[in-house]
């Protein structure tokens, strides 16, 4: 331009020469618009990859190794039979924009400027598949993070093959790559197909979209105490018990269970490579409430209720058998049993609320275990457990909070229970005093 402008002004060159220069600059790879767009895409790509790497390394227990180099040293590690690699294949060996810039400066042909190179992360199909592969890889790594696992998880970067941008899962078995590997699918939550007083039969569905053959299924189950309904696995102190199927059939009969007890179940598949992600928890499933006192039931109740003696359980059992020979305690029978504990109080409302919270499967009856827990908590000196049950009883919408109306109902009903009636005005004043101390938003949290 420095050489052209003076000649145009002096009449030595046509203005078309300047126009030709502008056109040449416009189609060059150094055009500001193209450079800005290219840099912005690179910045977005870097930011997205940083988020992916952060997700991969967030859980240290998953033991995922992130590498930018080849897998030679990893493949040489003989302590693992399998290596599952999530290979990011997004960066071209020769970047089209950089190639254009080099060719332009060297005056050679072969510019890619006329081609539309859509960034991989702007392709919704590629991005969705990448996110899915990433999530499945992390879940599979977390599921197989135990020390006895024979699989190692690695993330690396390679150039795309045939310009196909993707996050590819590659399974190395004794160093031999398998690019058709598919992670085992997550089974559906197990469901009850049959129940007796000491057993439960389960079945479940599994899409089985994984490429590995399923050897068998592993089922985990645990008892669900009344005050821990809705507690997540991570926050529950209840121990899980493991059983397994003999083969790949999607059903299991679990026996030697205590009568009338609620359980949760979950299931995962087991393959030669590793285990799948656990299914969601089942709905609460109960063994039948036949009146039968077994050592398992005694053991469970003594574990559930601190300080409860075997003799007390037998006394509860004798009372329960007398009141409910069929093993099912109705609300009316429970109210009478509850009234016997508080002979001088009005137990009608409180016992009704207590019955509803203890009726785990909402069939209108209590089994022996539910009855013992309810009655013992009311007779217990354990203030924390008594308050916990009272909170659950009056938290009607089950949101983990007590509002003013619920607290007033709790105060008046408890007053009736201990034969110290409290009218609405006094109860409201008590509630206000409690909220003034606890929570300016008129809620009490569990």
Distance CA 246, CA 262 (A): 25
Residue 144 clears pLDDT 70, i.e. is over it: yes
Instruction: Quote the pLDDT of residue 127.
Output: 93
Is the pLDDT score of 200 beyond 50? yes
Task: Give long-range contacts, CB 8 A cutoff, 24+ apart: 42-51.
Answer: 44/119, 44/121, 45/90, 45/119, 45/120, 45/121, 48/121, 49/88
**Per CATH, domain 295-445 is 3.60.140.10:** no
The yes-or-no verdict on residue 383 having pLDDT over 50 is no
> What is the predicted pLDDT for the residue at 115?
56
Q: What percent of the chain is modeled with pLDDT above 70?
A: 72
pLDDT tops 80 at residue 211: no
Supply the Cα-derived Rg of the chain in whole angstroms.
34
Size (the chain), residues: 446
| Main-chain phi, psi angles of 181, to 5 degrees | -65, 135
- Is 261 exposed, middle or buried (CB count within 10 Å of its CB: 0-12, 13-18, 19+)? buried
- Between 137 and 7, residue with greater pLDDT: 137
Q: How far apart are CA 419 and CA 345, in angstroms?
A: 4
Whether domain 59-178 has CATH 3.40.50: the reply is no
pLDDT single digits (tens) 61-95:
778 888 776 677 777 778 888 999 999 999 888 88
Burial (CB < 10 A; 0-12, 13-18, 19+), residue 69, is exposed
Pairwise CA distance, residues 428 & 407, whole Å: 9
Answer yes or no: pTM beyond 0.95. no
Q: Are 366 and 358 in contact (CB under 8 A)?
A: yes
Residue 88 is inside which H or E element, if any? Answer: strand 82-89
Confidence tier at 241 by pLDDT (50, 70, 90): very high
DSSP letter string, 15-62: HHHHHHHHHHHHHSTT-HHHHHHHHHHHHHHHHHHHHHHHHHHS-GGG
Instruction: State the pLDDT at residue 67.
Output: 79
State residue 16's pLDDT score. Answer: 62
Residue 260 in contact with residue 169, Cβ under 8 Å?
Answer: no
Sign of CA dihedral 288, 293, 294, 296: positive
Calculate the alpha carbon distances from 36 to 98, 284, 432 in Å. Answer: 13, 58, 62
pLDDT at 227 over 50: no
State which H helix or E strand residue 219 sits in. strand 214-223
321: pLDDT confidence band, cut at 50, 70 and 90? Answer: confident
Confidence check: pLDDT of 18 > 70: no
User: Which residue would you say has higher pLDDT here, 46 or 288?
Assistant: 46
Q: What percent of the chain has pLDDT over 90?
A: 28
The yes-or-no verdict on residue 243 having pLDDT over 90 is yes
List of residues 6+ apart from 219 with CB closer than 8 A: 190, 202, 242, 243, 244, 245, 252, 254, 265, 266, 267
Closest C-alpha among 331, 306, 445, 313 to residue 388: 445
Q: What is the pLDDT of residue 344?
A: 66
Which of 45-54, 301-310, 329-338, 414-423 is most confident?
A: 45-54
- Give CA–CA dist 213/131, Å, rounded: 25
Interatomic CA distance for residues 195 and 281, integer angstroms: 18
Instruction: Find the mean pLDDT for residues 310-315.
Output: 88
Domain ranges (residues) in the chain: 59-178, 191-286, 295-445
pLDDT at 29 over 50: yes
Q: Strand runs (DSSP E) across 99-212, as ranges?
A: 151-157, 166-173, 176-178, 191-195, 200-203
Confidence category of residue 142, pLDDT binned at 50, 70, 90: very high
Top-confidence residue, 109 or 50: 50
In the predicted model, is pLDDT for residue 417 greater than 50? yes
The predicted pLDDT at position 264 comes to 94
Q: Is it the case that residue 11 has pLDDT exceeding 70?
A: no
Architecture of domain 191-286: Sandwich (2.60)
What is the SS3 assignment for 278?
coil
pLDDT digits (tens, 9 = 90+) for 90-139: 988 888 888 888 887 887 766 555 555 688 999 999 999 999 999 999 99
The mean per-residue pLDDT over the stretch 175-184 comes to: 90
Nearest CA to 190 out of 263, 240, 255, 141 is that of 263
Q: Give the span between the Cα atoms of 322 and 398, in whole angstroms.
A: 34
């Amino acid at each position: 331009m420095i050489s052209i402008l003076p000649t145009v002004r002096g009449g030595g060159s046509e203005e078309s020469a300047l126009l030709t220069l502008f056109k040449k600059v416009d189609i060059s790879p150094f055009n500001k618009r193209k450079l800005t767009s290219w840099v912005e895409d690179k910045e977005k790509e870097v930011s997205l990859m940083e988020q992916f790497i952060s997700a991969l390394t967030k859980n240290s227990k998953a033991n995922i190794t992130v590498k930018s180099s080849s897998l030679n040293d990893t493949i040489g590690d003989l302590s693992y039979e399998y290596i599952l690699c999530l290979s990011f294949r997004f960066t071209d060996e020769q970047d089209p924009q950089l190639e254009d810039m080099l060719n332009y400066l060297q005056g050679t042909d072969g510019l890619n400027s006329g081609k539309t190179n859509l960034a991989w992360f702007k392709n919704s199909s590629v991005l969705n598949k990448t996110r899915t592969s990433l999530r499945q890889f992390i879940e599979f790594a977390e599921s197989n993070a135990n020390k006895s696992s024979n699989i190692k998880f690695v993330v690396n970067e390679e150039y795309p093959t045939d310009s196909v941008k993707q996050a590819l899962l590659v399974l190395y078995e004794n160093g031999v790559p398998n690019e058709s590997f598919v992670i085992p699918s997550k089974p559906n939550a197990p469901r009850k197909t049959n129940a007796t007083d000491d057993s439960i039969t389960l079945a479940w569905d599994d899409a089985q979209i994984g490429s590995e053959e399923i050897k068998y299924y592993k089922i985990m189950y645990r008892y669900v105490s009344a005050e821990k309904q809705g507690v997540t696995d991570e926050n529950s102190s209840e121990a899980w018990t493991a059983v397994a199927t003999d083969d790949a059939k999607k059903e299991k009969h679990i026996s030697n269970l205590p009568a009338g007890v609620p359980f949760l179940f979950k299931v995962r598949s087991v393959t030669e490579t590793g285990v799948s992600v656990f299914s969601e928890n089942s709905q609460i499933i109960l063994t039948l409430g036949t009146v039968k006192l077994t050592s398992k039931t005694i053991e469970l109740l003594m574990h559930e209720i601190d300080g409860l003696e075997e003799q007390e359980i037998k006394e509860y059992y004798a009372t329960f058998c007398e009141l409910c020979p069929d093993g099912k305690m109705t609300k009316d029978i429970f109210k009478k049993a509850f009234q016997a504990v508080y002979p001088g109080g009005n137990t009608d409302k409180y016992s009704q609320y207590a019955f509803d919270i203890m009726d785990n499967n909402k069939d209108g009856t209590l089994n022996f275990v539910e009855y013992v827990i309810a009655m013992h908590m009311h007779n217990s000196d354990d203030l924390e457990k008594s308050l916990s049950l009272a909170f659950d009883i009056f938290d009607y919408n089950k949101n983990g909070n007590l509002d003013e109306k619920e607290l007033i109902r709790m105060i008046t009903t408890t007053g009736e229970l201990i034969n110290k009636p409290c009218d609405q005005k006094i109860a409201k004043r008590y509630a206000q005093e409690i909220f003034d101390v606890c929570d300016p938003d008129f809620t009490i949290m569990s």
